[in-house]
Amino acid sequence: MNFELDEDQRAVQDAFARFCDQRIAPAAAALDESHAFPRELFAELGRLGFFAMRYPEDVGGSGLALQHFALALAEIARGSMSLAGAAAMQALMGTKFLHMLGNADIIERLFKPALEGRKIGAICMTEPDAGSDLGGIATTARKVDGGYVLDGSKTWVTSAPVADFFTVFARVGPERKLTIFLVERDFGGLVIGRPIHKMGVWALPTSELAFENCFVPDTHRLSREEGDGETHLRKTLAEIRIITGAMALGVARAALADAVRYAGERQQFGKPINRFQATQMKLAEMATELEAATHLVRYAAWLHGAGRPHHAQAAMAKLQATEAAARICDQAARIFASYGFAMEYPVQRYLRDVRFTLIGGGTSEILKLIIAKEVSS
């Protein structure tokens, strides 16, 4: 594998690095403090083609690979994890199943506007008693004339308060077959529940959601047949893990850059603290962990693009990148010392936001089980 970025990849990275430096980073603190969905920046990402990046040209996309997408997403996360989370949801989980399984009306009316940032999509899998355990999903879809009636509840639904449509996983029939449905915001029986107040990603709204006798027409059963939901979901999990790793790289880069800058400015005992060996060791460890995680995420994305087996590598990339990023953000806060505890510096935001990446796409404990199974088979 060639670890050098090619011309197209470099162009994508540079474009989103400029967007981060000029538009996202200057607004990140205010976005965080407002706890409000970043609609303006979200729309700008649509105009930049971010949401369409991975989709084919015949539906309005750019036809680029996951490698390009991961590079762009890391730059967005370097500026704001809240915006990166919303963008990742829209560009992958919020729209992928529509593209894979949606009919012509869904593609034209919902999917294509979502690629432009004019519609917002969300996915509903997690339930109060079902997180990593997909078998615990209890939401049901009962077949009736012309469609299905959904009943149940979901939680930790990213972008739910602002979403226009929801991809929903529910059980059908006595065999409880996991099936995918599309629910639009104006469907009767869809209830947006209480917001979930989080320690980080404050500008990424998350809430509970309920289906109370919610009718979904047959045209909105995305599954081609009842019970194929888990098959389609598992095809997407590796991508979710790779892009979550990419987001972790972004916030880790921001934390390291801030720590390096601060260590060169902060004076103690008559010299900058970057002259002290203890600080130098921290910076060296942070830079090395970031470099290693970067290569692993890029390798997993390259395997995906090459059509080669990458299930284990995606889990490894997500595990290494997110855990390394958490350590890097913690070390950055330690270099800032008391100012790492002060809200006036963004390092406290990095430290809070990085934990978002430890959860999505599978916890570290689940990932270790997956990796162990792969290497033992």
Question: For residues 320 and 296, what is the distance between their CA atoms, to the nearest angstrom?
Answer: 8
Low-confidence ranges of the chain (pLDDT < 70): 1-3
Query: What are the tens digits of pLDDT across the range 149-185?
Result: 999 999 999 999 999 999 999 999 889 999 999 999 9
Q: β-pairing, 165-172 with 121-124? A: parallel
pLDDT at res. 51: 98
pTM: 0.95
Query: What are the tens digits of pLDDT across the range 243-285?
Result: 999 999 999 999 999 999 999 999 999 999 999 999 999 999 9
The answer to whether the beta carbons of residues 36 and 203 sit under 8 Å apart is yes
